[in-house]
Amino acid sequence: MPMRIKDTRIRSFTETLSREATPKISDANVLDILAAVGDGSHASAAKVKADLTKPGITRKEQFDLAAKGLTSSEKSDLGQLLDKSGFQMDAGAKNFLEALIGRAPLQETFGPLTITGDQKNGIAGVARPGEVIEAINLSAAPGGRLHLTDTMVIGTADASGKFLGTMPDVREGDLIRMRTRAADGSTSDWLTIQAKGIEAKDTRNAIVNLERMDLTAGTDGISVTHNTARPLSEPGAKLRFTNVRTGEKVDVTVTDKGSLPEGLKLPGKAGDEFKVAGSDGVNNVDFASVAGTLKVPGGNDNLNRVDLPDPKMHKDELNADGTPKYKLERFTGPLFIDGAKPDDVRQGAIGNCYFPAALAAVAAARPDVIEKMIKDNGDGTYTVTFNSASSWSVGRPVEIKVDGDLYARSYGGPIYGGSLGGSTAPDKMELWFPLIEKAYAQWKGSYDSIGNGGVAGQVMSEVMGKTYSYENLSGVNTDRLYERIKKAADNKQPMAAGTYGTEDASRYTNTGVYAHHAYSVLGVEEENGTKYVKLRNPWGQSEHGYDGKNDGFFRIEIGKFTELYRAIHIVNP
């Protein structure tokens, strides 16, 4: 039977909790239920919550605050939470609910140690009179030399059992593990709380101590071991290991002892590097910030020496005898450093703006498509899968295999498409864009075949495997256009726009927009009643207007957009 919770606050609490992976009514969040129960004509829920979390408040006082506003309807709600919700419950939380509906007496303390209120002014609670309270900050410990049992004394329970402990460097959301110690040296079980009420937001992410991990290559992948008894991160933290060669990701949860799950294996081989990112569930949930990189010892460089035929250079870069003016260099860097992003893309010295503009547009809207379309074969070669789709028809997959050789400048970096925002060294540069471009040149015939102009919408179709639409912008209704771009951006449909040709070139000089050029369209925004289109120049520089950064990203008022741009291309849903 489903629950029929009548109180709106309890219902909202229940619905929110239900969305969690392992819903649990804890000693901390039960206070939200007590506040919802305790409100009434005498006090708002917010006021009751504030009273419930006052430092030093006892369980009896908390119970009385809740009981003061309890209605028969809310009793029914609490009964359903106990009997039908299936939620896990801390013993103290469960006793509150049972006591409020008269099913059990209120237990004023739980075991030897009960924490009360928030931690704004310290760690307050109830213990047996005279016992000392020992604690360790599990969130800070991985950054230092502490073992999990290296506690500090934070206070002593007074004659009534109350204590108010102080601990340095406790931040909002930190995990604090505590126990009591009696005069005879005996200790209680551990009790762990999450610090609350200290700051407006939890901004300290889980520390990840990379020095405490060892990676070893084996026949069945990479073993990851914890090489010390000291914690490597806080319990419950999520860690993401990303193989920088293949882009494969593995997520794990740190154990209660601040360690790794036993027998952890990662897909990879000797010589691979893994980026490690951590999240405490509040900060860095997208793992965008990386704690560092670990390399698997060993590896065989010969694996990078499989040599495939390379597409010929553009005619501008060929000598009279047809030999290339630039040498090939083997690039062995990671395919992805932090996933596919539009700001990774840099157009090279080749007239194919439509191609990087299209790829950056897909990276902005559907990075997952880019991450799936290129695969590292582990032998120095890569397989890129395009699609023979066009504006009017969905095609078939087309697989192109290339190696890591790229035409390079004498002073470093590839002559054609490259990557921005990081090293251009052959063993470090992020490779997804230049290799997809190389595969496109291989597919179409040569860099010359793709370096004399093209249509961004066509490339987006060939990447996405979907048809595309285009719209001429001359005389277009800007309000309707704004809504069309907004809807497409919301639907994650890649978009690009092209400017007019060089016969109209003089209209562009000094505008920051360039003639006969393609741009990624990233969406729209409105500010003070003015509507803008957000764009990116595939050069990774040179913009309309000055936004303080010359990174290729800019916005343009929508009327000006329709004046300077000829057409917009949108991949169909």
Partner 1 sequence: MAKPPEPIDEVLPGADAAVLAEVTRVVQQDPQKPYTGDPMATSTPHPAARQVVELKVSKVLFGSLAKAGGTVQAVKPEGAYALRAGNHGPFVLKSAGEKVEILGRFGPDTWPEGLVSQAAKKHGKQ
What is the contact surface with partner 1 in residues (CB under 8 A)? 347-354, 357, 451-457, 470, 498-499, 501-503, 505-506, 508-510, 512, 514-518, 539, 541-542, 566-567, 569
Cβ-based nearer residue to partner 1, 232 or 360: 360
Cβ-based nearer residue to partner 1, 259 or 419: 419
Nearest one of 66, 182, 61 to 113, comparing CA atoms = 182
Smallest gap from residue 390 Cβ to partner 1 (A): 12
Calpha distance 23→16 (Å, rounded): 9
List of E strands, 157-254: 162-165, 175-181, 191-194, 213-218, 221-226, 238-243, 249-253
Residue partners of 370: CB distance under 8 A and separation at least 6: 340, 359, 362, 363, 432, 436, 463
Smallest gap from residue 448 Cβ to partner 1 (A): 11
Indicate the DSSP class of residue 14: H
Cβ-based nearer residue to partner 1, 501 or 545: 501
Task: Tally Cβ neighbours within 10 Å of residue 288.
Answer: 11
Angle, CA 451 vertex, CA 402 and CA 536 arms, to 5°: 95
The string over 407-428, giving b where at least 16 C-beta atoms fall within 10 Å of a residue's C-beta and e elsewhere, is bbeeeebbbbbbbbeeebebeb
Angle, CA 87 vertex, CA 84 and CA 91 arms, to 5°: 110
Cβ-based nearer residue to partner 1, 165 or 356: 356
Nearest one of 280, 379, 382 to 336, comparing CA atoms = 382
Cβ-based nearer residue to partner 1, 118 or 543: 543
Smallest gap from residue 510 Cβ to partner 1 (A): 5
Cβ-based nearer residue to partner 1, 396 or 411: 411
Smallest gap from residue 509 Cβ to partner 1 (A): 5
The amino acid at residue 86 is G
> Tokens at residue 442, please?
């291989």
Residue partners of 102: CB distance under 8 A and separation at least 6: none
Smallest gap from residue 545 Cβ to partner 1 (A): 13
DSSP 33-72: HHHHHH-BTTB-HHHHHHHHTSTT--HHHHHHHHHHT--H
Cβ-based nearer residue to partner 1, 44 or 502: 502
Smallest gap from residue 210 Cβ to partner 1 (A): 37
Cβ-based nearer residue to partner 1, 64 or 504: 504
The amino acid at residue 169 is D
Work out the burial of residue 218: count CB atoms within 10 Å of its CB; fewer than 13 is exposed, 13-18 middle, 19 or more buried: exposed
Smallest gap from residue 364 Cβ to partner 1 (A): 18
Cβ-based nearer residue to partner 1, 117 or 540: 540
Smallest gap from residue 447 Cβ to partner 1 (A): 12
Calpha distance 168→166 (Å, rounded): 7
Nearest one of 467, 471, 464 to 390, comparing CA atoms = 467
DSSP 459-510: HHHHHHTS-EEEEE-TT--HHHHHHHHHHHHHTT--EEEEE--GGGGGGTTT
Smallest gap from residue 346 Cβ to partner 1 (A): 8
Calpha distance 49→423 (Å, rounded): 52
Smallest gap from residue 544 Cβ to partner 1 (A): 11
Nearest one of 89, 97, 116 to 17, comparing CA atoms = 89
Cβ-based nearer residue to partner 1, 380 or 417: 417
Asked whether 439 and 402 are in contact (CB, 8 A), the reply is: yes
Smallest gap from residue 17 Cβ to partner 1 (A): 52
Smallest gap from residue 567 Cβ to partner 1 (A): 6
Cβ-based nearer residue to partner 1, 34 or 518: 518
Calpha distance 46→35 (Å, rounded): 7
Task: Tally Cβ neighbours within 10 Å of residue 220.
Answer: 8
Smallest gap from residue 394 Cβ to partner 1 (A): 19
Cβ-based nearer residue to partner 1, 277 or 473: 473
Cβ-based nearer residue to partner 1, 56 or 512: 512
Calpha distance 148→154 (Å, rounded): 16
Smallest gap from residue 409 Cβ to partner 1 (A): 9
Cβ-based nearer residue to partner 1, 404 or 457: 457
Sign of the CA dihedral with 137 first, then 143, 146, and 149 last: positive
Total residues belonging to the chain: 573
